Amino acid sequence: MTPHMQALFDRRRQRLALMRELSGVLEESLTAAFSSDPQKIENCASGQAAVCHALSQLDARCLSYKAHAELGEVLGFAQGGTTQTVVPAEAEQRWCQLGHELGQVEARVLHLNRVYGGLLRRAQRTLEIFTRLLQPSPTYVPPECGAAVGNSPER
């Protein structure tokens, strides 16, 4: 395997490792949100930010190396469709396996992120409801004692 190909494999492995780490942090975040532990939620949020920063740094390096053009070299194809380099079958199989694993982990992260986002939106709505209930409202008029349900004289 050429050094160029090895570098691409390394980047893909790094991305897979970071996505797995992000998945773990999101799972922790869900647990923290369910247990209503503000300190743990804050710690998890900073952990998510750190992993996302590392992912963006890795993506920036990949783009600076023109990874999309190099991908053809890794798989052994030139732009004209002819074989440029001979890639061992094991390397091509491992590349595809890494891609499959990466796709699964990315789908898991997407799912966890959606669940976590929904949970946070629900918690925010609940907090807004309680905040409004605790604030004095000039338009709220408490019901009169005789007008309560079941005590109306019309029955």
Task: Report if residue 143 sits inside a domain.
Answer: no
Q: How many CA atoms within 13 Å lie on the side-chain side of 44?
A: 21
Q: Is 37 helix (H, G, I), strand (E, B) or coil?
A: coil
pLDDT of residue 140: 62
pLDDT of residue 74: 53
CA distance 155 to 152: 6
pTM above 0.75, yes or no: no
pLDDT of residue 90: 82
Host domain of residue 13: 3-135
CATH number, position 31: 1.20.58
Place of tokens 């309680």: 130
Task: Report if residue 146 sits inside a domain.
Answer: no
Q: How many CA atoms within 13 Å lie on the side-chain side of 130?
A: 5
What is the block-wise mean pLDDT of the chain (155 residues), using blocks of 10 residues? 79 93 95 89 94 90 58 50 63 87 95 93 88 75 62 50
